[in-house]
């Protein structure tokens, strides 16, 4: 089968494919409602999009794909919907792990995983273990995750280090904080995509997206496919990333953060 790169004449090295793409997958419920179907059908269809976009990102040579699959706030949804989502996440990871492994995709979990049901945790950790030697795309699944949760945890951890005398407050740097986040070790995203028409970050990667390009689309997550993904990347490639500097400075040292 012709790869997405061949079909679209994309050369990842020359074409500035973002190394890290983060996605807020929104619109499953509305997709289902438009079809007079239950919200679970929308989520099930959303899992197909996860499959599609992971494959595309892997084909394009993206290094990290970070998906907001279940937020801290999502625990407040009706219990039946929470249960459905948990079942779907467990099933998806069980079904997809062999294919992910075959495609050299490594799963990483980001969030308060202890809050998830024990059987789902087992499925997730099995996926992490099975793919631990993979060296291709890193698929970072944000589950029971929110930025304020992780920043609160990070502050607690740093405060404890200060109290133990292991660190001096004056020595706390941005790197000290980054190292305490749930995303520690993962470079910041170059591109953040949100589907489903809302124009907000909803407590997702607030620290990590300080310099990310933001791309919003009305397309609902279950409808988000190759055309939409390539359009987001193409829009990113048109943007000039200045990191607070002038255009003239950037032209001399492109893509140098801060």
Catalytic (active-site) positions: 26, 74
List the one residue from 17, 18, 28, 182 that touches ligand FPP (CB under 6 A). 28
Note whether 26 binds ligand FPP by CB under 6 A. yes
Q: Where are the beta strands (DSSP E) in the chain?
A: 20-24, 64-71, 106-110, 138-145, 191-194, 213-216
The whole-angstrom separation of Cα 232 and Cα 21 is: 10
Quick one: which segment of 24-32, 58-66, 147-155, 248-256 binds ligand FPP (CB under 6 A)?
24-32
Note whether 127 binds ligand FPP by CB under 6 A. no
Tokens of 156: 């607690």
Least distance between ligand FPP and beta carbon 140 (Å): 10
How many residues are recorded in the chain? Answer: 258
Q: Which is nearer to ligand FPP, 21 or 93 (CB)?
A: 93
- Hey, which residues does 107 pair with through a beta bridge? 139
Angle (nearest 5°) at CA 222 between 136 and 69: 55
Q: Which is nearer to ligand FPP, 97 or 212 (CB)?
A: 97
List the one residue from 65, 92, 110, 205 that touches ligand FPP (CB under 6 A). 92
Note whether 43 binds ligand FPP by CB under 6 A. yes
Q: Report the 10 Å Cβ neighbour count for 177.
A: 16
Q: Which is nearer to ligand FPP, 221 or 236 (CB)?
A: 221
What DSSP string runs through 152-196?
HHHHHHHHHHHHTTSS-GGG--HHHHHHHSTTTTSPPPSEEEE-S
Note whether 88 binds ligand FPP by CB under 6 A. yes
Note whether 107 binds ligand FPP by CB under 6 A. no
List the one residue from 8, 74, 121, 202 that touches ligand FPP (CB under 6 A). 74
Q: Which is nearer to ligand FPP, 34 or 174 (CB)?
A: 34
Note whether 192 binds ligand FPP by CB under 6 A. no
What DSSP string runs through 135-164?
-S-EEEEEEEE-HHHHHHHHHHHHHHHHHT
List the one residue from 23, 69, 105, 158 that touches ligand FPP (CB under 6 A). 69
Q: Residue 145: exposed, middle, or buried by beta-carbon count in 10 A (0-12, 13-18, 19+)?
A: buried
- Binding site residues, ligand FPP, CB under 6 A: 25-30, 43, 46-47, 50, 67, 69, 74, 85, 88-89, 92-93, 141, 196
């Amino acid at each position: 089968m012709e790869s997405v790169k061949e079909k679209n004449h994309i050369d990842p090295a020359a074409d500035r494919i973002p190394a890290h793409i983060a996605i807020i997958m929104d619109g499953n419920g509305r997709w289902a409602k438009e079809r007079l179907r239950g919200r679970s059908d929308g989520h099930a269809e959303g899992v197909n999009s996860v499959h599609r976009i992971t494959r595309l990102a892997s084909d394009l040579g993206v290094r990290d794909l970070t998906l907001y699959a279940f937020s801290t706030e999502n625990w407040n949804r009706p219990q039946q919907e929470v249960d459905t989502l948990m079942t779907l996440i467990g099933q998806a990871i069980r079904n997809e792990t062999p294919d992910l492994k075959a495609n050299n995709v490594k799963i990483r979990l980001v969030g308060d995983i202890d809050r998830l049901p024990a059987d789902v945790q087992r499925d997730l950790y099995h996926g992490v273990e099975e793919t631990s030697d993979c060296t291709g795309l890193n698929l970072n699944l944000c589950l029971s995750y929110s930025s304020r949760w992780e920043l609160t945890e990070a502050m607690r951890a740093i405060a404890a280090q200060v109290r133990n005398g292991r660190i001096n407050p004056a020595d706390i740097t941005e790197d000290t904080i980054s190292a305490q986040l749930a995303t520690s070790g993962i470079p910041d995203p170059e591109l953040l995509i949100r589907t489903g028409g809302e124009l907000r970050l909803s407590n997702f990667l607030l620290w990590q997206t300080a310099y990310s390009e933001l791309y919003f689309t009305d397309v609902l997550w279950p409808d988000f496919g190759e055309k939409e993904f390539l359009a987001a990347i193409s829009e990113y490639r048109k943007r000039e990333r200045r990191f607070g500097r002038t255009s003239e400075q950037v032209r001399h040292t492109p893509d140098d953060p801060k």
